[in-house]
Structure 1
Amino acid sequence: MPKLHPKQWLGPDGITAWIFLSPALVFLGIFVLWPMAYLCYLSFTTGSFTRGGTTWVGLRNYWRLFLSPDFWQVLGNTAYFTLATVIPSLVLPLGLSVLLNRTMALRGLLRTAYFIPSVTSLVAVGLGFRWLFQTEGPLNSLIGSIGLAPIPWLGSTTWAMPVLILLSTWKQLGFNLVVFLAGLQAIPTSRYEAAELDGANGWQQFWHITLPGLRPTLIFATVTTTIFTLRSFEQVYVITGGGPLNSTNLLVYYIYDQAFAQFDFGYAAAATVMLLLMTLILVFWQLRISPDPPTR
């Protein structure tokens, strides 16, 4: 794609383009750029939105973050939760999409069934998981029926986080499956036919044809799944409330608690800026490693 000279931006075609882009740019500026700029400003202040107002404190909120054991525990919880959610959220739908792509019968029905969790309210699903994993819930009743001791799923620092991971993986599975199916259908079948003629087995075709052909899709799915996981809030709020003993407190819930329970808006804004930086790094990584479109 040829690059435009800066003078062409103000030419007749450039002015027409700016006119058509102006509504979207105004919307972007008001609802995205301005809140981000105000958030950065707020992270250097202390106080609240009351008559007393805010006071400039410089880097004090960021210094408090780096010295806070709770923040580092929350950051560790978030890293563990993100890794343990993203990996199965990519591996499972990738395997299912490969199987569905080879199965013509009931493909549409199965694809819809797998996608249903993605359009289901996370709050409603969270309440269902909370009922399922409570101490006297159906799962412990099933465990007790085979002679095993019940497990305090939501009251244990060991088991509470896996419950959240299971819910988040189940929620993300359908979206990634549909994305991978679209990517698989874009790979020419002639490549697989040529590989079969050369004697390649199923695993060799998957490793040398499917994965390279899905590289842009895998990058997209990895970044979107990671961002979805980093901003997880509803499942923590509904199921565990960050407990027990802060073991399931994730970064977004920690920000919510600091802002709307402790009313420490400057400190919460500093934590939000840290989350924003992590997200921007992920997007930059996606843009850096995404393959360039083929030129004709």
Structure 2
Amino acid sequence: MYSIIAPVMRIIEIPFAFVQSRLGIRRLAWLFLAPNLILFGLFAFLPIILNVLYALTGGDQVLLGDRPFVGAGNFETLANCANYLDPNSCEKDLFWRAIWNSVWFVALQVGLMVAFSLLTALVLNRKIRARGFFRGVFFFPVLLSPVVVALIWKWILQRNGVLNAGLDSLGFEPYTWLLDTRWAFSWSVFLSVWAHMGFYTLILLAGLQAIPRDVYEAALMDRASNWRTFTKITLPLLSPTMLVVLVLALIKGVQTFDEVYAFTGGGPGSATTFIIQFIYQTGFAGNPRLFGLAAAASILLALVLVVLTAVQLWVNRRNVDG
């Protein structure tokens, strides 16, 4: 094998040796980074630039050359509101309904996600029977497609679904869960927590296992209670991992779309219409397709995520320095 590979590698070495002699050893690294940088620029930076350009133009034409320049007109349309707490007073009432739905959804979903993930990670970190099996069980929903998850729970909660069949066997009347605005929203939160909790549990479990065991042994020798050990040792040492989970869950919660869209379609009415669905409907599913308005909404969403992430990182840095 060496007699075959060695001549091939010597041939390949010739052009690289020539390039290295021209560029130098330091600049040669850019040659290997260039393919990734080009792909990253084409599929990351270029779409961002195009999105900004679309946000500054109007009309329903696809090509930028056919779209009139409107400046901040799309942002003014979205922000045109007499009372931001009352979506009915806004020019784009669905946009503000989607915002408030997203705010409530993220607050509930992220809070429950972090709480249940931490509780599950603490349990799975203990020496229990079939610990590996239960770790796999909690992580299994993460492997499923969001659409599959939505269809499974839609099948369970529909009028003739499994849940109503169980209630009927107990003597209760079947209920149209997904046609009630409050229940549809609550089940959407539950669906999202159930589908993604295993991922965050895995991250927290890794953080728990990274805590030195001798710290717990010292607490045990000092006869510290379980609650004191948890609040004074586990939580402080787990706080960097908790911040990662919080940021990831927050970004994922704000970007929720596919599973809820397949689950409720944004209904009943606009009860489960979130900001990403508004962007999709405005830019791709509506008639006319208002690409500029959808692009403006996506930029506002991106700015909010950047600000929230920066605040959380600042708080964590301040806690670490303190």
- Give the structure-1-normalised TM-score: 0.89
| Letter matched to residue 66 of structure 2 | G
**2:229 corresponds to which residue?**
205
Would you say the 8 A contact 1:93–1:177 is kept in 2? yes
Aligned to 1:186: 210
Q: Which has the higher contact order (CA 8 A, sep 6+)?
A: 1
Q: Which moved more, 1:44-53 or 1:11-20?
A: 11-20
Indicate whether 1:63 and 2:87 are aligned: no
Corresponding residue for 1:95? 119
Q: Which letter maps to 1:132? A: I
The AA in structure 2 aligned to 1:99 is: V
Partner of 2:53: 41
Shift of the alpha carbon at 1:28?
A: 1.9
Q: Tell me if 1:277 matches 2:303.
A: yes
1:146-157 map, 5 Å: 146-157=170-181
RMSD: 2.1
> Match for residue 235 of structure 1?
259
| Cα distance between partner residues in 1 of 2:246 and 2:313 | 13
- The 3-state SS of whatever aligns with 2:269 is coil
Give 4+ residue runs of structure 1 displaced > 4 Å after superposition.
11-14
Match of 2:220 among 173, 196, 202: 196
- Residue 34 of structure 2 corresponds to 22
Counterpart Cα distance in 1 of 2:228 and 2:143: 35
**Counterpart Cα distance in 2 of 1:261 and 1:23:** 35
Amino acid at match of 1:240: T
Give per-residue Cα distances to partners, 1:158-206, cap 9 Å, x unaligned: 1111111111000111001110110001000111111111121111111
Given that 1:243 and 1:249 are in contact with CA atoms closer than 8 Å, whether structure 2 keeps it comes out as yes
Corresponding residue for residue 67 of structure 2: 54
What is the alpha-carbon distance in structure 1 between the residues aligned to residue 182 and residue 173 of structure 2? 16
Residue in 1 aligned with 2:101?
Answer: 77
| Deviation of the 1:107 alpha carbon | 2.0
Q: Is the 8 A contact 1:216 1:291 kept in 2?
A: no
Task: Call closer, same or farther: CA 1:14–1:65 in 2, change over 3 Å.
Answer: farther
Contact between 2:54 and 2:64, CA under 8 Å: does it hold in 1? no
- Where in structure 2 are there 5+ consecutive unaligned residues? 1-22, 81-91
- How far off is 1:26 after superposition? 1.9
In structure 2, relative to structure 1, the CA distance for the partners of 1:199 and 1:51 (3 Å cut) is closer
Structure 2: distance between partners of 1:147 and 1:53: 63
Report the equivalent of 1:244. 268
* Of 151, 162, 168, the match for 1:127: 151
8 Å contact kept, 1:66–1:72: no
In structure 1, what is the Cα distance between the partners aligned to 2:201 and 2:71?
A: 46
In 1: Cα distance, 2:107 partner to 2:232 partner = 26
Distance in structure 2 (CA, Å) of the matches to 1:51 and 1:222: 38
Q: Which residue of 2 aligns with 1:264?
A: 290
TM-score by length of 2: 0.82
How many pairs align? 283
Q: Look up the equivalent residue of 2:263 and give its one-letter code.
A: I
Q: Note the residue ranges of structure 1 that are not aligned, 5 or more in a row.
A: 1-10
Tell which deviates more after alignment, 225-234 or 41-50: 41-50
Q: Secondary structure at the match of 1:49?
A: coil
User: What is the DSSP-based 3-state SS (H/G/I as helix, E as strand, rest coil) of the residue aligned with 1:45?
Assistant: coil
Residue 159 of structure 1 is matched in structure 2 by 183
Cα deviations across residues 82-121 of structure 1 (Å, max 9, x unaligned)? 1111111111111111111112542222111111111111
Is the CA contact (8 Å cut-off) linking 2:264 and 2:272 kept in structure 1? yes
Indicate if the aligned counterparts of 2:94 and 2:278 stay in contact, CA closer than 8 A: no
Quick check: 1:138 aligned with 2:162?
yes
Larger Rg: 2
Which residue type is aligned with residue 55 of structure 2? Answer: S
Change (3 A) 1:153 1:183: same
